[in-house]
Structure 1
Amino acid sequence: MKIVIAEKPSVGRELAKVFGATVKKDGYIEGKGYSFTWAFGHLLQLAAPQEYGFIGWRKQHLPMLPQKFKLSVRKIKTKDGYVEDPAVRKQLNTIKMLFDEATEIIVATDAGREGELIFRYIYYYLKCKKPFKRLWISSQTDEAIKEGFRNLKPGTDYDTLFNSAHCRSQSDWLVGMNATQALSISAGNRSVLSLGRVQTPTLALICARYLEIQNFVPKIFYQLSILLDQEGLQFKAMSLLSYDKKEDAEAALLRVRDVASGFPAGGNVTGVESKPRKEPPPLLHDLSSLQQEANKKKGFTADQTLTLLQGLYESKLVSYPRTGSRYIGDDVFAGVPRLIDLAKDHPEFGKAAEFLGTIPLNKRSVNAKKVTDHHAILPTGEKPYQLSSDKQAVYDMVLGRMLESFHQECVKEITKITIESGSEFVANGTVIRSAGWRSVLNATDDDKEEDSVSLPKVKKGVQLPVPEKTLLEKQTKPKPLYNEASLLKALETSGKEIEDEELRYAMKDSGLGTPATRASIIETLITREYIKREKRNLVPSAKGLAVYDVVKDQKIAQAELTGQWEKRLEEIRSGASVADFKAEITAYTREITHDLLTSGASISGKITPPVQETV
């Protein structure tokens, strides 16, 4: 009997359906020579400190450095505390029975780092020694599943992927458990103060931005605006200089040669620049960019978008959602014309799809070397049916982005007119000559809205009337609070603030966390009561600010730490030493534990008193 193990029941049932297996058993489905079983996500986890003999939270236990990590059955919370989940234990027994009977084991958990970890923990916990094969697919359509089963990979091909995932899991345990206990103990054990490898630098970003705004002192400055007239067509120009003192601005205003001051044509055009600018289409969506768009357009949280997208994936409507790549290979590109053709009857995008059928497709998003485990998110071509409004909105973002990405460049004409009238003034204008990809969603350039004006044709050297001049009082503004879209972008691009070239490269695609984990990090910070949502913004609580105040100058709060670890984890995936990595993490754990045990006392008066929690 061939045993296929999926990550969750819905996927196991779908695989069974594709193969025509219909006999339902307790925890699996069999038929046609196959048995299809499943996990419920992570059935097993690294054991809690007490399972290594570290009973209670005591300073003398720290740092906790298990010689060998144990696996423990997932727990549930009851009135008597945390106990082994009986449903998980039962399913593990079912999987063990099937593995014992198996002639072949086929791994069909999610084709990624976490999916590999879920299976391997089950496999090792059950002490299974049988070889296994790996199903690696980027879509849940029947065709993709059948093709994947025809091309199963040896399980050993993914040993380094598991090593990388297991090291990530162990290092998160070491740092998270030890840092959390160290800070909580030194703060007087008033409540659990959770720290984590990705959680803490993310909190640091939010707190630093919030405090920057709180401490921001607006600065008043002045600018001049003039209105010019070119044969009845009027346009505005702004002074090139800004003025700190009002009297300096007023003096400059008096020097403007406007009509009211007796100058019929006091604006001297000293320069005219007009040049085309080609804007390439945006890349296809990965999870992070889609979460950002959904937050901006619909107000969805990162977690909501991931849940909706996962539902679309399991309904066979989109490709694998947890991807960090915005590219596809030539093999996938070969199927894009069919996907575009199927969009011709879409009520919003039909016209764009029709047009794309008449031109060569833009290949900016086609680069096999930049495809990671999975390619960018695409529709599968299956027809959506009776989707909820939220699912339809996310599906349309995927479809719309596909049409944009393979569309023509947007061609703009950028015009800059320089005028001298007592001082130097500039008028900027942008005119779209060919909308190209922007025609799909009628997208405007949000960042440059004020420049999206048409300027009249003028020549250098002409003198224009200035019918109006104005003194404008302005003030400097702080950066805005983070919302989910801007935070996701900051997590994604945090590597740009790091000097080391290799670390920047390691963080280029993953930044803080991964596309698959960033939504849960935000939700964890909210659950821990470190941050809260205010309208669409993310702001720190008093508790979050108190924790930040203690850790802000320590390694655990710095993006560099994640960069170093991401770099090492990627190296492990490529076959680098696991032992060296573990030695480095152990040394780091000792350092951070020592620092937090001495620095946490300052936090005790700043947090809400006692809340009994368990980590």
Structure 2
Amino acid sequence: MTYLLLAEKPSAAKNFAKALGGMSGTFNGKPYKVQTLYGHMLEFVEPHEMVRGDDAKERFKQWTPETMPWDASELTWKKQPQVTTDAAGKKTSKAKAIADVAAAAKGATAIVIATDKDPSGEGQLIGWEVIQAIGWKGSVKRLYFIDESEKELQKGFRDIQDLTSYEQDGEYVKADVRSRWDYLSLQLTRLSTHAARTQGYRVIVRQGRLKSVMTKLVADQLALVKAYKKKPFYEVKYKDDKGNVFSRSFDEDRDRFRFESKADADADATRYGPSKVIQDSVTRKETPPGKLLDLGGLASILGAQGFKPKEVLQTYQKMYEAKIVSYPRTEDKFISTEQFNEMLPLVNKIAAVVGADVKLLTHRTARKTHVKDGGAHGANRPGTSIPASLDDLKSYGPSAVAIYETLAKNFLAMFGENYIYNSIKGHIEKYPDFTATISVPLSLGFKAIFDADKETADDDQGNDPLSTGLGQTAARFVFEGVNKKPPLPTHKWLEKQLSRYDVGTGATRVSTLSEVTTGKTALLTDTRGKLNLTTIGEIAAVMLEGSMIGDPGVTEKLYKAMKAAGQFSIKPEAVLQTATQLIKHDKEIFYRNALKLHSQVGAPEPIVEKEKAEGEYAPTGEKVSFSREWNGYFFSDQEVQRLLRGEVITIEGKNPTSGNPYRAEGKLAKGKYKGNTFWGFKRLEANSYTAQTAPFPLEWSGYKFSANDQARLRAGEKIKIKAISKSKTPYEVEVTFEVETFKGVTEWKIKPHFKERPKKPTAKKTRKSRA
């Protein structure tokens, strides 16, 4: 039997080849061949392409409010090879990659899905959809692995399991129903966008089962913060000679010892005098180390340090592929006995890298709170490849050092002893209603290494100061307090809210937060972990008031329903029906709430139409209309006439984004954008010029070229200039004038030639040299 192993991506295929002895061969007595996939290789076609009948096709093609919600039972859920578009507009299809799988499968007797095993079942879906696409009718098997180390991949190969069919594969069913539900939810974005545009807002208002919940939670919390009004109050308290404060339990409905004015509190204070302190009890208590972090908790800590979710995800993935950290998309909060035993010999090495005191790591037996079997990948933790130093991690990304240091110290904390303290209770002798409970540390234990509970707490939640014990005497004072202010919504705060509802895994929450905080359609801003609404986010928040898609309780039930579908306790069709019901409900809500946008968000920005030039294009006799502005340059009447005659003109302007001056030659021409044809100024292609005839820039990075400079550069010479960096720092660099392609655009440009910096030895090379 020859196995065709489907690896999720090229890097995974390389790791399989390394573990098994090549891209093809025999391992454990079984012939195999490794074939790489490229993540998801198929996508749903347009809705009108997966319905039958001309009437249905026309109805689904419209994407109008009148045709929504769709009847999901009409959809065939047809898929096609995924098509991606790069920044230059170039489209690439996965059709060839799928054909390569089909070709490789011809010599196989079984296809083995060897993708990642993640909580959402995504890996299973990636494998099965390709198998269905190539029409494979043979045996299908599954290879599971904890990480991409040689040991785990080899173990997974030895334990390859049979899969009967995709309909009976719970992981696939769960992932498939989720992808279909998400496809149906695209209607929500179209409806909320259309509703906003009926009120004059030319924006795209994205909605989805997690992004909408995030937006609504942040919006509601910001509203609480904005509505907060500081209300001071005054009351009598006691303070002993060691600084401990004694106070009375306050019931707003019953008690009258809290006053709005200080004068009233001062009058009340005359009733109380100095007194001795009575110690009531001393109880020795212990606290074990906090939980192991998931990616959500890790990213929320790093967010406060200024690292964006997107950057943390990208850097973590690179570190995972290098085996420096464990699998990212796990939902486990513990590690297995086998994983514990594997990591135990590495504890001291990890501690040395992050500067943790090995003398504190004395608890070398497995804790029941942190180590138990039954998980898959285990909690996020350091990998088996230990860097020589934190500096060696910088090449993986800006957050690499912070990722490893935080993850490693959290992991090492479970090898520290329990935090031990005395909980002491006492009261004021003459006035026993005044009480205090203090904590006196006896041994910091794991807290001297890392305290996960403290690190993941809301930013405004600080621990009470530790005490050395109760004093002997106490004196009364007037305490000034205020009503509690709602905390600002931060990454940590949002992570806590979503965890409470068990909505998504930590990795899913981080990737979604990354999505909603980046790009032109961002709903939220993220400033060092503090979240706020963009203008589009404000619009979305108004639309979500009273909606189901913005309700975390509804989303929590949906996640449970998707899991139930994977366990075959509910039919997938029933889960999809919830999408139709939700869209029907929220459609009405969106249009009703859109009427509030002007009063709650403000009037939309007026639409400023670019001035058009019109006339007859002499070379063809066509009547044309085109914009009088191009890249910040406004064409004069004379230039408009020259363009209409078909002439090439030269213009000089400044880029409206960068402010850099430019010189360009071009003429009037037809173009296409999103399938629509238009007339406009088109810059001549680079191959239309030579070094002698190409438009030459007026300046580059703050340096203005002289006539002599231009002549030398056009002659192909390399010259040294004094430029100025973005940070206003002068520097010298050699430049040439040559053709370059950037984002699909080819043109003559000034090209800098920076001196190469000597490369630092990698951690791997350093280890070899030490050996």
Aligned to 1:364: 369
In 2 relative to 1, CA 184–578 (structure 1 residues): closer, same or farther, beyond 3 Å? same
Aligned counterparts of 1:609 and 1:100: Cα–Cα separation in 2: 60
Aligned counterparts of 2:105 and 2:64: Cα–Cα separation in 1: 41
Instruction: Tell me if the contact between 1:415 and 1:429 (Cα under 8 Å) persists in the aligned partners.
Output: yes
Aligned to 1:549: 542
SS of corresponding position for 2:525: strand
Give the superposed CA RMSD: 3.1
Aligned to 2:153: 145
Aligned to 1:165: 175
In 2 relative to 1, CA 204–553 (structure 1 residues): closer, same or farther, beyond 3 Å? same
| Alignment deviations for residues 48-85 of structure 1 (CA, whole Å, 9 cap, x no partner) | 3454543354233322344211213333347997x752
Aligned to 1:499: none
Instruction: Tell me if the contact between 1:74 and 1:84 (Cα under 8 Å) persists in the aligned partners.
Output: no
In 2 relative to 1, CA 236–400 (structure 1 residues): closer, same or farther, beyond 3 Å? closer
Aligned counterparts of 2:325 and 2:126: Cα–Cα separation in 1: 23
Aligned to 1:221: 233
In 2 relative to 1, CA 79–6 (structure 1 residues): closer, same or farther, beyond 3 Å? closer
Aligned to 2:299: 291
**Equivalent of 1:384 in 382, 387, 405:** 387
Deviation, 1:269, is 2.5
Aligned to 1:42: 40
Q: Which has the higher contact order (CA 8 A, sep 6+)?
A: 1
In 2 relative to 1, CA 581–91 (structure 1 residues): closer, same or farther, beyond 3 Å? same
Aligned to 1:24: none
| Alignment deviations for residues 173-204 of structure 1 (CA, whole Å, 9 cap, x no partner) | 112x2112222223336332221111111110
Aligned counterparts of 1:406 and 1:350: Cα–Cα separation in 2: 11
Could you say which structure has the higher strand fraction? Answer: 2
**Equivalent of 2:583 in 584, 589, 595:** 589
Q: Is 1:485 matched with 2:492?
A: yes
Deviation, 1:553, is 0.8
SS of corresponding position for 1:63: coil
Aligned to 1:396: 405
Unaligned 5+ residue runs, structure 2?
51-56, 249-256, 456-460, 610-672, 675-771
Q: Is 1:374 matched with 2:377?
A: yes
In 2 relative to 1, CA 319–352 (structure 1 residues): closer, same or farther, beyond 3 Å? farther
Aligned counterparts of 1:95 and 1:566: Cα–Cα separation in 2: 33
Q: Is 1:250 matched with 2:266?
A: yes
For 1:99-114, list aligned pairs within 5 A. 99-112=105-118, 113-114=121-122
Aligned counterparts of 1:352 and 1:381: Cα–Cα separation in 2: 22
Deviation, 1:267, is 1.3
SS of corresponding position for 2:281: strand
For 1:132-211, list aligned pairs within 5 A. 132-156=140-164, 159-175=169-185, 177-188=186-197, 190-211=202-223
Deviation, 1:320, is 1.7
Deviation, 1:444, is 9.5
| Alignment deviations for residues 274-308 of structure 1 (CA, whole Å, 9 cap, x no partner) | 22221122122222232233335x44333333333
**Equivalent of 2:563 in 547, 570, 592:** 570
Aligned counterparts of 2:591 and 2:14: Cα–Cα separation in 1: 50
Radius of gyration: which is bigger?
Answer: 2
Instruction: Tell me if the contact between 2:174 and 2:566 (Cα under 8 Å) persists in the aligned partners.
Output: yes
Aligned to 2:649: none
For 1:278-357, list aligned pairs within 5 A. 278-296=286-304, 298-340=305-347, 342-343=349-350, 345-346=352-353, 348-349=355-356, 351-352=358-359, 355-357=362-364
Aligned counterparts of 1:250 and 1:140: Cα–Cα separation in 2: 69
SS of corresponding position for 2:487: coil
Deviation, 1:206, is 0.4
Aligned counterparts of 2:498 and 2:329: Cα–Cα separation in 1: 16
In 2 relative to 1, CA 443–225 (structure 1 residues): closer, same or farther, beyond 3 Å? farther
| Alignment deviations for residues 299-343 of structure 1 (CA, whole Å, 9 cap, x no partner) | 433333333332222112333221111123334344343343554
Aligned counterparts of 2:603 and 2:102: Cα–Cα separation in 1: 50
* Count of residue pairs the alignment pairs up: 564
Aligned to 1:439: 448
**Equivalent of 1:92 in 94, 98, 121:** 98
1:280 partner amino acid:
P
Farther-moved stretch of structure 1 (2-11 vs 52-61): 52-61
Instruction: Tell me if the contact between 1:546 and 1:607 (Cα under 8 Å) persists in the aligned partners.
Output: no
Aligned counterparts of 1:601 and 1:185: Cα–Cα separation in 2: 13
Deviation, 1:130, is 2.5
Deviation, 1:484, is 1.3
| Alignment deviations for residues 337-395 of structure 1 (CA, whole Å, 9 cap, x no partner) | 334355465462351475234xx4432112335x3x43222334333242227323322
Aligned to 2:532: 539
Deviation, 1:20, is 2.7
Deviation, 1:442, is 7.7
Instruction: Tell me if the contact between 2:266 and 2:478 (Cα under 8 Å) persists in the aligned partners.
Output: yes
Identity of aligned pairs, percent? Answer: 23
Aligned to 1:25: none
In 2 relative to 1, CA 157–217 (structure 1 residues): closer, same or farther, beyond 3 Å? farther
Instruction: Tell me if the contact between 1:133 and 1:152 (Cα under 8 Å) persists in the aligned partners.
Output: yes
Aligned to 2:463: 449
Aligned counterparts of 1:293 and 1:490: Cα–Cα separation in 2: 15
* TM-score using structure 1 length: 0.83
For 1:119-134, list aligned pairs within 5 A. 119-134=127-142
Aligned to 2:693: none
Aligned counterparts of 1:200 and 1:481: Cα–Cα separation in 2: 19
Deviation, 1:401, is 2.0
Farther-moved stretch of structure 1 (532-541 vs 336-345): 336-345
SS of corresponding position for 1:37: strand
Aligned counterparts of 2:452 and 2:509: Cα–Cα separation in 1: 27
Instruction: Tell me if the contact between 1:111 and 1:135 (Cα under 8 Å) persists in the aligned partners.
Output: no
In 2 relative to 1, CA 550–161 (structure 1 residues): closer, same or farther, beyond 3 Å? same
Could you say which structure has the higher helix fraction? Answer: 1
In 2 relative to 1, CA 210–347 (structure 1 residues): closer, same or farther, beyond 3 Å? closer
2:469 partner amino acid:
L
Q: Is 1:273 matched with 2:281?
A: yes
Q: Is 1:416 matched with 2:428?
A: no
Instruction: Tell me if the contact between 1:223 and 1:239 (Cα under 8 Å) persists in the aligned partners.
Output: no
* TM-score using structure 2 length: 0.67
Aligned counterparts of 2:544 and 2:451: Cα–Cα separation in 1: 45
Instruction: Tell me if the contact between 1:326 and 1:365 (Cα under 8 Å) persists in the aligned partners.
Output: yes
In 2 relative to 1, CA 465–127 (structure 1 residues): closer, same or farther, beyond 3 Å? closer
Aligned counterparts of 1:578 and 1:93: Cα–Cα separation in 2: 30
Aligned counterparts of 2:565 and 2:317: Cα–Cα separation in 1: 28
1:453 partner amino acid:
S
Deviation, 1:164, is 0.6
In 2 relative to 1, CA 548–77 (structure 1 residues): closer, same or farther, beyond 3 Å? same
Aligned to 1:512: 503
SS of corresponding position for 2:445: coil
In 2 relative to 1, CA 107–546 (structure 1 residues): closer, same or farther, beyond 3 Å? same
SS of corresponding position for 1:474: strand
Farther-moved stretch of structure 1 (522-531 vs 212-221): 522-531
Deviation, 1:455, is 2.1
Aligned counterparts of 1:600 and 1:80: Cα–Cα separation in 2: 35
Unaligned 5+ residue runs, structure 1?
22-28, 258-265, 459-463, 495-510
1:70 partner amino acid:
K
In 2 relative to 1, CA 353–57 (structure 1 residues): closer, same or farther, beyond 3 Å? same
Instruction: Tell me if the contact between 2:326 and 2:383 (Cα under 8 Å) persists in the aligned partners.
Output: yes
1:534 partner amino acid:
T
